[in-house]
Amino acid sequence: MKQVFWLSLLVLSTLLLSPLDMRAAGPPPVGGTLPDFTLPLPGSSTERDYLGLSSRGNFTVPDIKAKVVLIEVLSMYCPFCQKEAPIVNRLYEAIEGNPGHKGKIKLIGIGVGNSAYELDVFRKRYNVPFPLFPDADFTLHKQLGETRTPYFIAVRINEDRTHKVVYSKAGSLGEVTPFIENLVKLSGLK
């Protein structure tokens, strides 16, 4: 009985999901991987150092020197992202202030539909301490399944640079301390 259930589920979801997959019909699911995209190397050396990137040109998320990367999908124009900004800043401070987490968990933001100028207004308004990347023409947004904003995706990066999505959720991250504890648990970070 149970076997039949899982089999039919597998067959059906494969059938139904395969055509959707091509147009990134949903956010990256937990257990899956990120869509294929690159980000430009930040202009600021502080940000490059934070991400542990020295090479020129573009990079991918698994290139970031970290065990866990938390990606916030946001927009300068989104009221909840504005409200969330101080919380995400506190999360950053909490990680950087904990020797067990510093260097292991890193944050980046993607400003969907935001020009570099617009995202910079957001950065300055909220003193965002982590790197933000504009996605002015919604290219990344489409690849990420047109998530709502804010949306958080955490990926675990393995030694061999493979990665796995361990968290994928719309809305506020909530309280900072339990969020970090949960992230540590989900990613198997010790």
Give the residues lining the site for other proteins (CB under 8 A).
Answer: 1-2, 4-5, 8-9, 11-13, 15-17, 20, 23, 25-26, 75-83, 112-113, 115, 117-118, 121-122, 125, 136-138, 141-142, 145-146, 148-150, 170-172
Nearest to other proteins of 68, 112 (CB atom): 112
CB of residue 33 vs other proteins: minimum separation in angstroms?
A: 18
Cβ of residue 108: shortest distance to other proteins, in angstroms?
A: 17
Q: Which is nearer to other proteins, 42 or 150 (CB)?
A: 150
CB distance 183 to 169 below 8 Å: no
Cα 164 to Cα 167: distance, rounded to the nearest angstrom: 9
Question: Please, which residues have CB within 8 angstroms of residue 95's CB and are 6 or more apart in sequence?
Answer: 101, 102, 105, 106, 107, 180
Map tokens 């927009």 to a residue.
75
Least separation in angstroms between residue 13's CB and other proteins is: 5
Residue 124 tokens, joined: 């300055």
Under 8 Å between Cβ of 144 and 24:
yes
As measured in angstroms, the least distance from the Cβ of 177 to other proteins is 22
